[in-house]
Amino acid sequence: MEEKHKKILQRNRVGLVRELDPSKLYDGLLETAVFTQDMIDEIKSSGTRRDQARQLVRDLETRGSRAFPLFLQCLQETGQQSLAELLQNGVPAVHLQPATPTEVRPVVRPLPITSPMDVDKQRRDDDPVRPIPRPSTTPSPSPERESLRPRPQGRTRRDSIQGYKMDASPCGHCLIINNVEFDLQSELSNRRGSNIDCDKLERRFKTLNFIVEVKTNLKQRQIKHELSALSKKDHSRSDCCVVIMLSHGTEVSHNRFPGAVYGVDGQYVPVQLITNYLNGQNCPSLQGKPKLFFIQACGGGEKDTGFEVSPDEFEPSFGGADDQTDAIPMSSSSDSLSMSDEPDARATLPTPCDILVSYSTFPGYVSWRDPQLGSWYVETMDRVLEENAATDDLVTMLMMVNNEVSQNSAKGLYKQMPGSFNFLRKLLYFQTQT
């Protein structure tokens, strides 16, 4: 799209989000090849009418030079003449050129990471240095041979904060998507060590009385299919639902949850879309129940070198010498917090109730993974759950994970800071085994 047309959309974004009816435009935008069916489906699943309008305008800016005049034409044909006039006010009339046989939207491939110190570009195993081992956890006993242990009476919490009901058996479903081997054309490296993460998490959540299903090496469309299938299950007898994504990641535009996770074909699924599959609108049987998402993937390509602290503040821990990252550079501009959109976003975005998204790293930064021991984040979280699930709530345990991971160092230099977007309303205590 031409820069002048992008500026027109950006300047009128608030008005478009307030007045636009996207449902009337989908057929026309599909017929004129402005959007693909996958893009239309993604916009439809983004939430309310305003959410869909906001996403449509955002995606429109990424299309070809014919996108703007075709958008105006669709507005006029669907009776939204006032919006078409708003966009045309003060600019020359646009004339459509005959369509060419070339693809409207080029295939977007991840850019190579150009940093000379970037360890994620390892597509050949030529580093002879062995990792410095970190403490490992012992395998958890299987839940089949053990009985559920009730929450100990000694737990302390504020009386004003309730706890989620978490006594169903099984507690709920846990879907793990583990992408290890990526297609050659995706230009993404294989994720050595991810199977170790997957095995740990499968054992851990079985111990916490979840039905665990593992899916390996899924393409973008397959990831969406599995999430859709999970949303269509009957969760009425469950108390919770968990989704775990182990893959490469990147930073994308968003208005709620940052980041995206790659399929093995090099096409990504935004975290925001992943959470939408299980929201109250798309999965009624999970309304009022906690929906937990754990994302082991990079939020971007930036590396954190940390800052100096007093030697007695923490005991340093060092990662392996050949630790890798799951980073892919940012795939599109983050315009979701632009001044033109901010007032409307504040006024209209609903709270994503009963959802917690835990990220292995701060948005925009890489996430480190040891090919021999697994990722820092998963290794630490598995150990914290093993040692503290019987006494502490989930949010408290995730703070423990944040603290421990923040003290690791890759190559003796790089740091990592996990974090969460927490929209839970109550305390969450997992079931534990005796």
* Residues classed as catalytic: 248, 298
Q: Token match 């423990």: residue?
A: 400
Length of the chain (residues): 434
Using the Cα atoms of residue 278, residue 281, residue 283 and residue 289 in order, give the sign of their dihedral: positive
290: closest CA among 168, 405, 381?
168
CB 178 within 8 A of CB 241: no
State whether residue 186 is helix, strand or coil. helix
**Could you count the other beta carbons within 10 Å of the beta carbon of residue 76?**
14
| 3 state DSSP class of 163 | strand
422 CB-near residues (< 8 Å, 6+ apart): 356, 395
- Contact 271/293 with Cβ under 8 angstroms? yes
- Burial of 187: CB neighbours in 10 Å, binned 0-12, 13-18, 19+: middle
Q: Which of 180, 123, 125, 120 is nearest to 301 (CA)?
A: 120
Q: Is 1 exposed, middle or buried (0-12, 13-18, 19+ CB in 10 A)?
A: middle
Question: What tokens were used for 17?
Answer: 């989000």
